[in-house]
Amino acid sequence: MPDPTVTALREAAVHRGFRLVASRKRTPGTGDYGRFGLTDPKGKPVIGIGTDGLTASAEDVEAFLRRGELDTWKQSATAPAAPIKAKPRAATPAPEAAAALPRRSARPAPTPPESKPKPTWSRTERVAKRAPEPPPLGIRPAVEKDAPSIAALLGLRGKARGEAAARIAACRKAGGGVLVGEQKAVLGCLAYVPVPALHRPLSGRITTLFVAERHRREGIGRSLVEEAAMLLAKAGCETIEVMSDIEIRSAHGFFRRLEFEETSYRFARALPKGRKA
């Protein structure tokens, strides 16, 4: 299945007269995996193409293309306007010709139709006709009755759907919690927990962050992260970390915009069920 990020970048590059070059590496951490470059139509490197492979991130390519679009707009805005051609004047007839023209009988000017008065609306009436603004976003701790909404938001099915309330309670028992963002309905959720370690001070970890697809890019995810950061700081955490799915590339850019830095790789392995220690 084509990567939507690569497809969007390729279309934007073609629109600006460039060709997108994407890494052929498929294993994270090898070579120039996840990197891109741009060339002109003749194959001449423009950005992100080095001797050892591709070097530009998706954000670098997007920023370069947007700068080019802005420059084009500025050039069009400062270009001088085309001169307006004067309309040719009708030739004035000679006196003899004018005298020869037959006189037209004067007709009374037609009576203009009565104009209907425009309805006048007061400011209060105009405001009332506008679409109502959405209610303000609320960020609060999740409660047991939020479990069905959170399960539906995360797309949980079967047994996992019924365990949503127990998982919320488990997060609180571990010293963390679950936050929800709502505007009449639950539109996003975040789970967090303090993580002690021997080699560093107490750190807070965001283990789940999800926002309904129709309401992304509305500031819900940012508000949830900021609230979690404040609560973890109050709990004594000195840093906050998050696990970002490798397959969800848009999540990487989201966390970078919130000043998160990539510091390590995450390794995971399934454990056998039912084995006693």
Q: How many Å apart are CA 20 and CA 242, to the nearest integer?
A: 30
Q: Which CATH superfamily is 138-257 part of?
A: Gcn5-related N-acetyltransferase (GNAT) (3.40.630.30)
Tokens of 257: 């915009």
Q: CB–CB of 180/142 below 8 Å? A: yes
pTM of the model: 0.50
According to the model, what pLDDT value does residue 146 have? 92
* SS3 state at 91: coil
Kind of pairing between the strands at 203-211 and 239-242: parallel
User: What's the angle, vertex CA 96, arms to CA 92 and CA 99, rounded to 5?
Assistant: 90
* Token pair listed for 170: 């488990």
Q: 200-236 burial string, b = 16+ CB within 10 Å, else e?
A: eeebbbbbebbbbeebeebebbebbbebbbebbeeee
237-248 burial by CB neighbour count: b if 16+ within 10 A, else e? beebbbebeeee
pLDDT computed for residue 248 by the predictor: 54
Q: Is 75 helix (H, G, I), strand (E, B) or coil?
A: helix
Looking at residue 88, its amino acid is P
Where are the domains positioned within the chain?
A: 4-73, 138-257
The pLDDT value given to residue 249:
54
pLDDT at 150: 92
Measured in degrees and rounded to the nearest 5, phi and psi for residue 150 equal -65, -40
Per-residue pLDDT at 168: 93
Cβ atoms of 35 and 29 closer than 8 Å: no
Per residue of the chain (277 residues), give pLDDT as tens.
Answer: 677 778 888 888 887 888 888 888 888 888 888 888 888 888 888 888 888 888 888 888 888 888 865 555 455 445 555 555 656 665 555 555 444 555 655 666 677 777 666 666 666 556 556 767 778 899 999 998 999 999 999 888 877 788 889 999 999 999 999 999 998 899 999 999 999 999 999 999 999 999 998 998 899 999 999 999 999 999 999 999 987 664 455 677 788 888 888 777 778 888 998 665 4
Per-residue pLDDT, 77: 46
Calculate ∠ Cα 143-147-150, nearest 5°: 110
H/E segment holding residue 185: strand 185-195
Strands 49-50 and 239-242: unpaired
Estimate the crossing angle of helix 147-154 against helix 164-173, to 10 degrees.
Answer: 100
Residue 12 CB-half CA count within 13 A: 19
Q: Identify residue 223 by its one-letter amino acid code.
A: S
Six-digit token string for 191: 């789970």
